[in-house]
Amino acid sequence: MKLAWTLAALASARNFLVESDSLLDTDDRIWTPDFTYKEEIALAKGETHEWTVPLDINSKYLANQYYRIYVTCPENTAIRVSFGGAFDVELADVTGCNNDAVIVYNGPDGNNEMGRFCGSDVPEPVLGTRQDMTLVFKTNENELRHAGFRATFEVVDLDQNIIEWNKIHNAYETLKNEIFEEHDHKNDNIQNKKANFTTRIFRRFVWMKDNSNMVCDQPADVGSPEDFVEPVIDLSTPESTCTSLGTFIESIRSFHYAYVCMDNLNFDVIPNLSKVEKRERNSKIPAKTKKMLLNQSRQFTDQKFHAMGCLLE
């Protein structure tokens, strides 16, 4: 019965079947561990850079390659990468882009993955939050090669509210990676659980970025840009790391105080909303947001990261 279900599930993945000679064969793919080509580009304001995947005489990209394109931009700007009107990479398997794939990292490659793309659908543009971005394209050693893609990198000017939010976002990525590393004395499940907890908390407040503005008719609070408190991330000692967790939440609180705008938020009665939708919408009411941030400030330090020595008052 289990085998029959498995074969039926595999048969339903028609795109994958086209790309695979035999789903039950041993996975003998070989990946290149080190990059075969790298490029580093420093973009100034107003500049763009295009990179196209090299192709052979048959207009197919090469197998067994590891391309790494690293792009930097000036202070108070960010990098956006787009893929034009055509994108042709090996199709996903039943679990995702595990074969040839394009990966966009926020910063250097290795951590902070912002997107992983394959198949023939043109990805949406990706806007980073740092002054650097890395695009990686890896191909494995098989005969399934396609027409590739062209990536265009451009420098984007940022308003002050987005500059400040990006500081929070970048602090989150740094802390998440540190929390994962600091729990390496635990099992993998605990490591992932702690890192995922950090992500879950942060996601409760990411709506603030899209509802922040320099000009606002209905501010969520009475603060001004001068009231924003930048997160201070110091990982040099266990004590300073734990303190950094607290300043991270405090920075989100100050962003809400200084920048969040209610102009585009609707709290009128909307019929047929699910409980989850109602809870998510109501969490943006200023009084509830501030209460949630106060509670998270305690939980984020005292309750969840005691294995790191975090027992803050």
What is the full DSSP assignment across 78-97? EEEEE-TT-EE-PPPBTTBS
pTM of the model: 0.78
Can you tell me the distance from the alpha carbon of 296 to that of 47, in angstroms, rounded to the nearest whole number?
41
Short-list 300, 299, 230, 295, CA closest to 259: 230
pLDDT at 1: 44
Q: For residue range 124-150, list pLDDT tens digits in order.
A: 999 999 999 999 999 987 777 899 999
- Copy the structure tokens of residue 300: 């984020």
Q: Cβ(78)–Cβ(156) under 8 Å? A: yes
196 versus 114: the higher-pLDDT residue is: 114
Q: What structural domains does the chain harbor?
A: 26-157 (2.60.120.290), 160-308 (no CATH)
What pLDDT sits at residue 308?
Answer: 67
* DSSP-derived 3-state class of residue 243: helix
E-assigned strands of the chain? 37-42, 48-52, 66-72, 77-82, 87-88, 101-106, 113-117, 126-127, 132-138, 148-157
**Number of other CB atoms surrounding residue 105 within 10 Å:** 22
What is residue 14's predicted lDDT score, i.e. its pLDDT? 36
| 37-42 β-sheet, strand order | 37-42, 66-72, 132-138, 101-106, 113-117
Going by the DSSP 8-state scheme, the letter that residue 195 receives in this structure is H
Checking if the pLDDT of 236 tops 80, the result is yes
Most confident of 18-22, 23-27, 144-148, 155-159: 155-159
* Residue 56 and residue 109 in contact, taking contact as beta carbons nearer than 8 Å: no
Q: Which residue has the tokens 């998510």?
A: 280
Question: At 81, is the pLDDT very low, low, confident or very high (cuts 50, 70, 90)?
Answer: very high
pLDDT single digits (tens) 189-208: 777 887 788 888 889 999 99
Please provide residue 261's backbone torsions phi and psi, each rounded to the nearest 5 degrees. -125, 135
